[in-house]
Amino acid sequence: MSYATRDIRNVALAGHPGAGKTTLFEALLHAGGALTTAGTVERGTTVSDFDPMEKTRGHSIDIAIASIDHAPVSDRSYHLNLIDTPGYPEFRGPALSALAAVETALIVVDADTGVEHGTVRLMERARERGLCRVFVVNKIDHEQADCARVIAQLREMFGQEVLPLNLPADGGRRVVDCFGSASGDSDLGPVAEWHQRILDQVVEVDEGVMEHFLDGGEQGLSPQELHDAFERALREGHLFPVCFVSARSGVGVPELLQIAERLFPDPTEANPPPLLKRNGHGDEPLAVQPTNGGHVIADVFKIVNDPFVGKLGVFRVYQGTVRRDTQLFVDDGRKPFKVGHLFRLRGKEHVEIDEAVPGDIAAVAKIDELHFDAVLHDSHDEDAVRLAPTSFPKAMFGLAVQAASRGQEQKLSTALQKLAEEDPAFVVEHNAELNEVVIRGLSELHLRVMLERLKERFGVEVTTRPPRIAYRETISTKAEGHHRHKKQTGGAGQFGEVFLRIEPLPRGSGFEFVDEVKGGTIPGQFMPAVEKGVRQVLQTGAISGHPIQDVRVIVYEGKHHPVDSKEVAFVTAARKAFLDAISKARPQVLEPIVDLEVGAPEAQLGDVTGSLAGRRARITGTDGARGEVVVRAQVPMSELDGFAAELKSLTAGKGRYSLDFSHYEPVPPQVQQKLVEAYKPKHEED
């Protein structure tokens, strides 16, 4: 089936866990004719949760992609690419990468439990990407559904811009249109009232439309005029439409498909994708032409390592048409690859296609060079193009891992690399010094799922233990340092002398090296050696063996010797001058502080806050709905040892938590003393 760019709608389903995204995904595919019967989450038969682990867990841990070719209102077929994203905060990495590929975010809200706080963050992320934001209120069939309350909540949180396009009626047994129609009754009052509100809001975006509306009322507006104004309001965030559905009974689902076709932007109408092109000075925005036959520009937003088909790169085409049997380059690589097979995805099924037009989503298989966020193109003019980076949550939760059986180290390393390719929030670090491999993710659950995948998909088992905490060192005051390095061993000697000053910099600003030497007391050719000596200390630390940050080093004076001055002499002199200065600058050990979010049954609120209090936590907020509480706190990373196990036992396995790096802070004096004492005996300088 062929279709044009204008017939495409790219939509991501987002929302908190349990809101019904997976069920809605299934219902949309069913209503759109892509499935004959809809599966259910309970029976593990959905298209989206096809991973065996997702089936047993009953919720999504990765994104799923499927498309619908549908002709609900017009005779033209329209092509809807639908991406289901996982709702749990720990699987935010894949969810965020999906937002890069679509024009519209459908934010699913549960009519039973109401709007959850995570919705604010989702809206913010969608706004950053320039997406149209549409709310879907699900479970209107639920006996405890309270649609009026949900609308009130949404309007309170996101403003008067939140307006329904349709309304539940007959207690959620059907929905009635209030965008195109102004008559009838609904569970939320007369349709006419909501119809008027939405018109008032939409016409505001354009003075011309507003005038016509004021002059002639609704009749003064042409359908095209209204459509254009609506689209603009949507694109500019002047309108956040709401649609009501029951994913379970199917009520409102065909209507949602129609609304997507009629009113959601196609790739030519949406806000321009955030593409950048490097030039001599930095990055500049790149305008793409999604409608013409120009050069191909596409971005890989998802990597799947499938044991059967191998590596699959899922990409969004921004410009040009990707055709089978043509050649594409990856980033600035010189060697092209051949598009041997081109696929459309439906859950785990792949359908071969001949071409992917601008705006479409497709996949290629078995191309090793592909990685998350790779840019595919067919001309070297596009070498320097990339997608504006998404700021992913920082992976803070770490585990040191080791292959459980000897001889599996290489296999482990390859498998971990593959998993990291798939999830931008999953990071693998190799610490050569400690010979330690640390995996980092957003929560304990996140890592546990990754380790299960490691076993299931790659047959590698590991043993784990807590990794070292990433402490840092800094100074708290200005100081001077000096060292004269002089060595006479037989023939030629070594001579170098360095005077320097150090100053604390604001937290998080890193390191600055300033050369203020006047009159060549340290000849220019030795300054790199001086900087090298300083940087050695920066890496190894001075008092506890951790890297130093937030320091400015100003070298202002020195002495050299015409024969004996050598690079190595200035490296040593600078290193010791720096250590000398640090010892007088009240050095401090810093520790990472994380933003922690804990979810637990309401009854355990006291236990959870008690446990946190014992871990030097500062509680920053609590809220919750329907039996679950969410506690947010700032906690030193080092205090989270054993928290996962404790939370599990306190909440009978129902608790969950996630972390985000926040900042560095000085450790309490007694902790500093311990760290310094543990380090001292082994590392005393001569």
Of 9, 79, 139, 174, the residue at the interface with ligand GDP (CB under 6 A) is 139
Closest distance between ligand GDP and the C-beta of residue 444, in Å? 19
Contact between 59 and ligand GDP per CB under 6 A: yes
Core vs surface per residue 587-619: b (16+ CB within 10 A) or e: bbbbbbbbbbbbbbbeebbebbbebbeebbbeb
Contact between 311 and ligand GDP per CB under 6 A: no
319 neighbors 358 (Cβ within 8 angstroms): yes
Contact between 248 and ligand GDP per CB under 6 A: yes
Of 18, 398, 496, 533, the residue at the interface with ligand GDP (CB under 6 A) is 18
Instruction: Supply φ then ψ for residue 358, to 5 degrees.
Output: -55, 135
The amino acid that residue 654 corresponds to is K
- Residue with smaller CB distance to ligand GDP, 39 or 398: 39
Closest distance between ligand GDP and the C-beta of residue 259, in Å? 17
Contact between 30 and ligand GDP per CB under 6 A: no
Sign of CA dihedral 61, 67, 70, 73: positive
Give the pairing type, strands 104-110 and 78-84.
Answer: unpaired
What is the Cα 676 distance to its own chain's centre?
A: 36
Nearest to residue 373, comparing CAs of 104, 14, 93? Answer: 93
Closest distance between ligand GDP and the C-beta of residue 82, in Å? 13
Closest distance between ligand GDP and the C-beta of residue 36, in Å? 19
> What SS3 state is found at 619?
strand
Closest distance between ligand GDP and the C-beta of residue 119, in Å? 12
Which DSSP helix (H) or strand (E) runs through 680?
helix 669-683
Instruction: Supply φ then ψ for residue 250, to 5 degrees.
Output: 90, -5
- Residue with smaller CB distance to ligand GDP, 253 or 582: 253
Q: Which stretch binds ligand GDP (CB under 6 A): 240-248, 561-569, 616-624, 626-634?
A: 240-248
Q: Which stretch binds ligand GDP (CB under 6 A): 137-145, 147-155, 441-449, 633-641?
A: 137-145
Give the pairing type, strands 587-601 and 628-636.
Answer: antiparallel
69 neighbors 52 (Cβ within 8 angstroms): no
What tokens does 399 get?
Answer: 């585990």
- Residue with smaller CB distance to ligand GDP, 58 or 547: 58
Strand partners, 70: 78
Contact between 119 and ligand GDP per CB under 6 A: no
The rounded distance, in Å, linking the Cα atoms of 626 and 144 is: 11
- Residue with smaller CB distance to ligand GDP, 91 or 578: 91
Q: Which stretch binds ligand GDP (CB under 6 A): 244-252, 346-354, 459-467, 477-485?
A: 244-252
Residues 6+ apart with CB under 8 A from 632: 595, 596, 597, 598, 619, 620, 621, 622
- Residue with smaller CB distance to ligand GDP, 84 or 591: 84
Core vs surface per residue 172-193: b (16+ CB within 10 A) or e: bebbbbbbeebeeebbbeebee
Closest distance between ligand GDP and the C-beta of residue 63, in Å? 11
Contact between 575 and ligand GDP per CB under 6 A: no
- Residue with smaller CB distance to ligand GDP, 188 or 573: 188
**Residues of span 80-99 touching ligand GDP by CB under 6 A:** 87
Q: Which stretch binds ligand GDP (CB under 6 A): 20-28, 214-222, 255-263, 553-561?
A: 20-28
Contact between 640 and ligand GDP per CB under 6 A: no
The rounded distance, in Å, linking the Cα atoms of 442 and 249 is: 35
Q: Which stretch binds ligand GDP (CB under 6 A): 10-18, 286-294, 387-395, 428-436?
A: 10-18
- Residue with smaller CB distance to ligand GDP, 57 or 584: 57
CB atoms within 10 A of CB 103: 26
- Residue with smaller CB distance to ligand GDP, 22 or 321: 22
**Residues of span 140-179 touching ligand GDP by CB under 6 A:** 141-142
Contact between 118 and ligand GDP per CB under 6 A: no
The rounded distance, in Å, linking the Cα atoms of 26 and 161 is: 29
What tokens does 529 get?
Answer: 């050696």
Contact between 138 and ligand GDP per CB under 6 A: yes
Supply the DSSP string of 138-202, one letter for each residue.
E-TTSTT--HHHHHHHHHHHH-TTEEESEEEEGGGTEEEESSS---SEETTEEHHHHHHHHHHHH
The rounded distance, in Å, linking the Cα atoms of 223 and 219 is: 9
Fill in the per-residue mask, 188 to 207: x = in contact with ligand GDP (CB under 6 A), - = not in contact: --------------------
Task: Tell me, by CB under 6 A, how many residues bind ligand GDP.
Answer: 20
Of 107, 234, 247, 585, the residue at the interface with ligand GDP (CB under 6 A) is 247
- Residue with smaller CB distance to ligand GDP, 19 or 637: 19
Contact between 424 and ligand GDP per CB under 6 A: no
Contact between 60 and ligand GDP per CB under 6 A: yes
> What SS3 state is found at 501?
strand
| CA 390 to each of CA 92, 165, 541, 668: distance values in angstroms, whole numbers, following the listed order | 12, 31, 32, 35
% helix, strand, coil for the chain, step of 5? 30, 30, 35
Contact between 246 and ligand GDP per CB under 6 A: yes
Contact between 672 and ligand GDP per CB under 6 A: no
- Residue with smaller CB distance to ligand GDP, 19 or 365: 19
Q: Which stretch binds ligand GDP (CB under 6 A): 16-24, 356-364, 625-633, 644-652?
A: 16-24
Contact between 656 and ligand GDP per CB under 6 A: no
Contact between 79 and ligand GDP per CB under 6 A: no
Find tokens 């939405």 and name the residue.
198
Contact between 655 and ligand GDP per CB under 6 A: no
What tokens does 561 get?
Answer: 């010797």
108 neighbors 21 (Cβ within 8 angstroms): yes
What tokens does 132 get?
Answer: 């149209």
Of 8, 14, 19, 203, the residue at the interface with ligand GDP (CB under 6 A) is 19
Of 8, 35, 41, 551, the residue at the interface with ligand GDP (CB under 6 A) is 41
Find tokens 């018109």 and name the residue.
199
Fill in the per-residue mask, 360 to 379: x = in contact with ligand GDP (CB under 6 A), - = not in contact: --------------------
Closest distance between ligand GDP and the C-beta of residue 72, in Å? 20
The rounded distance, in Å, linking the Cα atoms of 491 and 502 is: 35
Of 8, 14, 17, 633, the residue at the interface with ligand GDP (CB under 6 A) is 17
371 neighbors 401 (Cβ within 8 angstroms): no
- Residue with smaller CB distance to ligand GDP, 60 or 611: 60
What tokens does 666 get?
Answer: 């000085």
Q: Which stretch binds ligand GDP (CB under 6 A): 246-254, 279-287, 294-302, 577-585?
A: 246-254
Judged by the rule CB under 6 A, the positions of this chain that interact with ligand GDP are 15, 17-23, 41-42, 59-60, 87, 138-139, 141-142, 246-248
